Amino acid sequence: MTWNLHLIDLHTHTTASDGTFSPAKLVHLAKDEGLQAVAITDHDTIAGNAEALTIGREIGIEVVPGVEISADSPFGSIHIVGLLIDTEDEKMESILTELREYRYKRNVKMIDLLVGMGIPITMEELVVISGGDLVGRPHFAALLVSKGVVSSYQEAFNKYLKAGGKAYLDKKRLPVNEAILMIKNSGGIPILAHPYVLRIKDEENIEANIEYLVELGIEGIEVFYSEHSRGDEALFADLARRHSLLVSGGTDFHGDVKPGVSLGRGHGNLNIPYYLLESIKEMVA
């Protein structure tokens, strides 16, 4: 279905991290859905970008190379999306490799916890489900569902995988200043992802927190997001205007892991215009 050839999605995930669509399949879907551009922003890895860029050139859709970084800030864990990064940046790849190695060790410990509870799972099974090199909690959830341990992804997270769950272990994150600097040093644009999380955590101090990130070098904010209300969009658009931040938008598409979120459309609430990407590209021209 094609609704508008000038729409985009600047926040998506593939099997390179915790999505269920390969980079090629995701780009083909973007083309089928009539998007003009799509960004690949996998968690702590740039591995999916090369395949996506190749397919994009072949079928005629713009692919924006990107990444999503988990970062620690004084006001809790936040996510920074990097757009238009250099996918051959060796320094970035070195940092991301270290994060992935820590994630692997965490996953081994989580497997041990689950096995200790009488739930037989293996890393090999998780890798098969992930379809890639990066195993995350959604893959644990999928495996627990497939084994009949739980009846749904939500039950898996509630009982075992979310903070406070029986098998939950936190992951390593970069300090937010280092995450922003890494993206900028790679030639990319650092964007605060899904800022509604900040509003939920600490609505009273949200502007001060945005100002803190601006001082560190954040250059944009994800005004349009699947879980944002119209009120959220208005709030973050106003903050973007007053702090001279670029406006971005994306669905956080993960495929089957988030079945209610459609590529380019979110929950049916998104129509992200291409001119936002044009403004972002002007910053790196």
CATH number for the domain including 270? Answer: 3.20.20.140
State the pairing for strand pair 189-192/174-175: unpaired
Residue whose tokens read 């996953």: 107
Domain annotation covers residue 215: yes
Q: Tell me how far the alpha carbon of residue 132 is from its chain's centroid.
A: 16
Is the CB of residue 222 less than 8 Å from the CB of residue 199? no
Domain annotation covers residue 137: no
Which pLDDT band holds residue 48 (cuts at 50, 70, 90)? Answer: very high
Domain annotation covers residue 179: no
Tens digit of each residue's pLDDT (9 = 90 or more) over 115-170:
999 999 999 999 998 876 678 888 899 999 999 999 998 899 999 999 999 999 98
The domain in which residue 16 lies consists of: 7-88+187-284
- Predicted TM-score of the model (pTM): 0.89
Domain annotation covers residue 207: yes
Domain annotation covers residue 68: yes
Domain annotation covers residue 129: no
Domain annotation covers residue 132: no
**Dihedral angle of Cα 64, 46, 260, 221, to the nearest 10 degrees:** -60
Domain annotation covers residue 262: yes
- Count of domains in the chain? 1
Distance CA 31, CA 230 (A): 27
